[in-house]
């Protein structure tokens, strides 16, 4: 049976959310054998499990849930006593689940506030780029730096115009058209170093050279403004071909003007969008687009959309590089509060231009927290022994097998105290296992080793943090404990109850025989039905019945030439099921004729059978469910005998609020 998260949650009834309530009472509420369970633990689970308003702290509600919780803890205790938590299957399943939750804790949360703060302001920016490979050699890096510094001096001394220089010399291909003007941006829309530099500039001031993965930038903020918020609009769109001729443009303009005229004349917006809009992804929905903010649409479209004041207002035709639009405002809203926005901000960071910075920022924070100490000379000593075969992805660490000095150390003095050293051998092993031929393409050995060292330190630091998540974060620890308990309970209950009830056919039969009166049927009419091909055959049936002819003789005589003339079937009909015989009458010895277009049925009630237990094959599903319940009940009784349970009534009563 495949174990799913929902299945385990159902069987344990005890999953915590990541925002578990603060415990209120450390007193022991109950003991199971020699194991103590506190009132605060019970209250925490009680509140989180009863999410439908049943957690009212009444005596009945608490008492009912206490019974469930005690039973749960009894089962978990038995599973742990059986060492089920040490099996490979359980450990692997737990690790798989844990690995899915850890990323939400591997994040520098300070970036959320930083992103939210910047979302309040929008910048109109321009830049000049000297392009450079992220893995550029020191020589190429210096060459690019000298070039950007030369541009900076030219602009500072007013020997060059910023936009003209961008058009002529910027490494950004779009500069040929936009003269370096990127338009308006908001937070988390461009790579972090660029954005950070831009948001630290005053309008009209040019930055010093800014290094990013694209190269070196000179950035200038033209103007700033408060955030425009978010807008939802609909549009009617007439597309222009990629290489539109004058004729194409004239036709498109005439078409959009015609639609605009219909709209001004009172035509229905949705009907026009469905009929004429060439944006087929939105036309069926009246042209409505997804919500957007600054920097997410082409500037002409965005400016026109945000200029609309009231929902329902629409623009005159607006031209963009894609074609012509008429834009209608659906709604506008301001940036929400930090609490309402932080989850969306996190998603934007993890899936957008800040992604790499977020990873680096998290590692940097951990290095500081765990007192990262590097021994650079030992690192360089190892690197000096690695030859150029690494550029081909075939380097072997056997040549440095004796190098085991410490390269860096991490020290945790707070959560799970430990001082851990990472040696030259550890680093060499990482390099050998993770080297790839493609990594050395177009770069130097020094740059490749630097990158691999950065990867090694990042992996080492995050693994060090991963091992401490339970110690650092109580909600994570609670969730992991409950998930493990859920796995154990699922496996044990499957063995003791669910699977046994299905596979133990002997036990199921014994249980059925002992409880068959629970599965009583209704009164039945044993009825023989004579289905005749036509009225002539039906008349013969009546005639032969009157003579007392047996069914076998009747079949032999009537079907001698055509076996389809007559069929005879005896069956039991249960009262109350709306059968034909019940509608016709319900009396032993009586016969009833039922005619249809194709056949004639004579139905003869042989006898009425009193209510009796239904056979096992007819009620197996019900019997299995009852057998499971019985196995569960007996199992709990055995556990309570094996692990005596003692409830502290005084502590229990202190939890009652009404």
Q: Between β-strands 591-595 and 373-374, what pairing exists: parallel, antiparallel or unpaired? A: unpaired
Q: What is the pLDDT of residues 198-227, one digit of tens each?
A: 999 999 999 999 999 999 999 999 999 999
565 Rama class: left (phi>0) / alpha (psi -120 to 50) / beta: alpha
Note whether 171 and 180 are within 8 A (CB). Answer: no
pLDDT attached to residue 54: 63
- Asked if the model's pLDDT at residue 267 lies above 70, the reply is yes
C-alpha to C-alpha distance for 129 and 636, rounded to whole angstroms = 72
Q: What is the pLDDT of residues 592-606, one digit of tens each?
A: 888 887 889 898 998
Report the half-sphere exposure of 225 (CA within 13 A, side-chain side): 11
- Asked if the model's pLDDT at residue 135 lies above 90, the reply is no
- Asked if the model's pLDDT at residue 611 lies above 60, the reply is yes
- Asked if the model's pLDDT at residue 19 lies above 50, the reply is no
- Asked if the model's pLDDT at residue 511 lies above 50, the reply is yes
- Asked if the model's pLDDT at residue 277 lies above 60, the reply is yes
CA Rg value for the chain: 40
* Whole-number average pLDDT of the chain: 90
Q: What is the sign of the dihedral through the CA atoms of 302, 306, 308 and 312?
A: positive
pLDDT attached to residue 4: 34
- Asked if the model's pLDDT at residue 21 lies above 50, the reply is no
CB atoms within 10 A of CB 333: 10
Q: Which residue has the tokens 């959320």?
A: 112
The confidence band for 14, taking pLDDT boundaries of 50, 70 and 90, is very low
Instruction: Report the CATH number of the 121-226 domain.
Output: 3.10.50.40
Instruction: Kindly report the backbone phi and psi dihedral angles of residue 318, in degrees, each rounded to the nearest multiple of 5, phi listed first.
Output: -115, 130
Over residues 320-339, mean pLDDT? 95
Q: Dihedral angle at the C-alpha atoms of 271, 277, 283, 284, nearest 10 degrees?
A: 50
- Residue 60's contacts (CB-CB under 8 Å, 6 or more residues apart) are none
In this structure, what token pair is assigned to residue 441? 């393409």
pLDDT attached to residue 378: 97
In this structure, what token pair is assigned to residue 492? 């044990």
pLDDT attached to residue 273: 95
- Asked if the model's pLDDT at residue 12 lies above 70, the reply is no
E strand residue ranges, 498-541: 524-532
Q: What is the pLDDT of residues 61-89, one digit of tens each?
A: 899 999 999 999 999 999 999 999 899 98
Domain with CATH 3.10.50.40 in the chain: 121-226, 230-334
Note whether 12 and 489 are within 8 A (CB). Answer: yes
Lowest mean pLDDT among 52-56, 501-505, 541-545: 52-56
To which H or E segment does residue 318 belong?
strand 318-320
pLDDT attached to residue 25: 56
C-alpha to C-alpha distance for 637 and 629, rounded to whole angstroms = 12
Q: Is 617 helix (H, G, I), strand (E, B) or coil?
A: helix
The confidence band for 168, taking pLDDT boundaries of 50, 70 and 90, is very high
C-alpha to C-alpha distance for 9 and 16, rounded to whole angstroms = 10
pLDDT attached to residue 344: 94
Q: What is the pLDDT of residues 480-499, one digit of tens each?
A: 988 998 898 888 888 888 88
The confidence band for 53, taking pLDDT boundaries of 50, 70 and 90, is low
CA distances from 61 to 5, 66, 568 (A): 26, 9, 60
C-alpha to C-alpha distance for 7 and 415, rounded to whole angstroms = 33
Q: What is the pLDDT of residues 407-463, one digit of tens each?
A: 999 999 999 999 999 999 999 999 999 998 777 677 889 999 999 999 999 999 999
C-alpha to C-alpha distance for 413 and 428, rounded to whole angstroms = 28
CATH class as words, domain 230-334: alpha beta
In this structure, what token pair is assigned to residue 155? 């602009």
The confidence band for 50, taking pLDDT boundaries of 50, 70 and 90, is low
C-alpha to C-alpha distance for 237 and 318, rounded to whole angstroms = 10
Architecture of domain 521-612: Roll (3.10)
């Amino acid at each position: 049976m495949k174990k799913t998260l929902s299945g385990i949650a159902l069987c344990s009834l005890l999953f915590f959310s990541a925002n578990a309530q603060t415990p209120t009472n450390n007193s022991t509420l109950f003991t199971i054998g020699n194991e103590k369970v506190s009132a605060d633990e019970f209250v925490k689970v009680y509140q989180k499990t009863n999410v439908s308003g049943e957690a009212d702290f009444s005596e009945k509600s608490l008492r009912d849930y206490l019974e469930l919780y005690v039973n749960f803890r009894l089962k978990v205790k038995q599973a742990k006593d059986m060492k089920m938590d040490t099996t490979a299957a359980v450990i692997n399943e737990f690790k798989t689940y844990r690995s899915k939750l850890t990323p939400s804790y591997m994040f520098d949360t300070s970036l959320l506030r930083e992103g939210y703060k910047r979302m309040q302001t929008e910048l109109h920016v321009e830049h000049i780029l000297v392009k450079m490979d992220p893995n550029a050699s020191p020589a190429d890096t210096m060459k690019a730096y000298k070039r950007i510094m030369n541009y900076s001096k030219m602009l500072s001394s007013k020997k060059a115009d910023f936009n003209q220089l961008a058009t002529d010399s910027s490494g950004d291909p779009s500069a040929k058209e936009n003269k370096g003007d990127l338009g308006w941006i908001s937070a988390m829309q461009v790579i972090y170093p660029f954005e950070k530099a831009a948001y630290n500039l005053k309008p009209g001031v040019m930055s010093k050279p800014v290094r990013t993965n694209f190269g070196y930038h000179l950035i200038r903020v033209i103007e700033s403004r408060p955030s425009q918020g978010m807008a939802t609009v609909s549009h009617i769109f007439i597309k222009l071909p990629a290489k539109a001729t004058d004729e194409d443009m004239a036709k498109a303009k005439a078409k959009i003007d015609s639609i605009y005229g219909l709209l001004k004349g009172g035509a229905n917006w949705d009907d026009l969008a469905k009929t004429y809009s060439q944006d087929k992804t939105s036309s069926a929905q009246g042209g409505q687009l997804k919500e957007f903010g600054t920097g997410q649409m082409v500037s002409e479209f965005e400016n026109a959309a945000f200029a609309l004041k009231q929902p329902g207002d629409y623009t005159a035709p607006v031209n963009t590089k894609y074609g012509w639009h008429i834009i209608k405002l659906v709604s506008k809203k301001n940036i929400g509060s930090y609490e309402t926005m932080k989850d969306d901000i996190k998603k934007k960071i993890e899936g957008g231009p800040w992604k790499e910075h977020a990873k680096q920022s998290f590692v940097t924070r951990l290095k500081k927290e765990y007192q990262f100490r590097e021994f650079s000379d030992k690192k360089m000593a190892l690197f000096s022994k690695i030859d150029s075969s690494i550029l081909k992805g075939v380097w072997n660490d056997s040549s440095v097998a004796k190098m085991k000095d410490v390269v860096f150390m991490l020290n945790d003095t707070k959560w799970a105290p430990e001082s851990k050293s990472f040696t030259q051998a550890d680093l060499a092993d990482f390099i050998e296992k993770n080297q790839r031929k493609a990594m050395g393409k177009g770069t130097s050995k020094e740059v490749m080793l630097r990158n691999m060292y950065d990867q090694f330190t990042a992996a080492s630091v995050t693994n060090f943090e991963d091992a401490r998540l339970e110690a650092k974060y109580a909600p994570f620890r609670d969730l992991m404990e409950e998930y493990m308990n859920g796995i154990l309970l699922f496996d044990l209950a499957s063995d003791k109850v669910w699977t046994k009830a299905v596979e133990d056919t002997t036990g199921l039969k014994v249980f059925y025989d002992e409880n068959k009166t629970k599965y009583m049927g209704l009164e039945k009419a044993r009825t023989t039905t004579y289905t005749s091909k036509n009225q002539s055959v039906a008349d013969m049936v009546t005639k032969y019945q009157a003579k007392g002819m047996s069914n076998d003789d009747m079949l032999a005589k009537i079907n001698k030439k055509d076996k389809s003339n007559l069929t005879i079937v005896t069956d039991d009909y249960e009262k109350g099921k709306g059968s034909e015989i019940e509608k016709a009458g319900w009396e032993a010895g009586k016969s009833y004729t039922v005619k249809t277009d194709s056949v004639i049925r004579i139905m003869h009630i042989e006898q009425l059978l009193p209510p009796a237990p239904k056979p096992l094959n007819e009620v197996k599903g019900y019997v299995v469910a009852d057998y499971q319940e019985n196995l569960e009940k007996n199992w709990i009784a055995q556990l309570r005998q094996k692990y005596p349970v003692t409830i502290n009534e005084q502590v229990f009563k202190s939890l009652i609020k009404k």
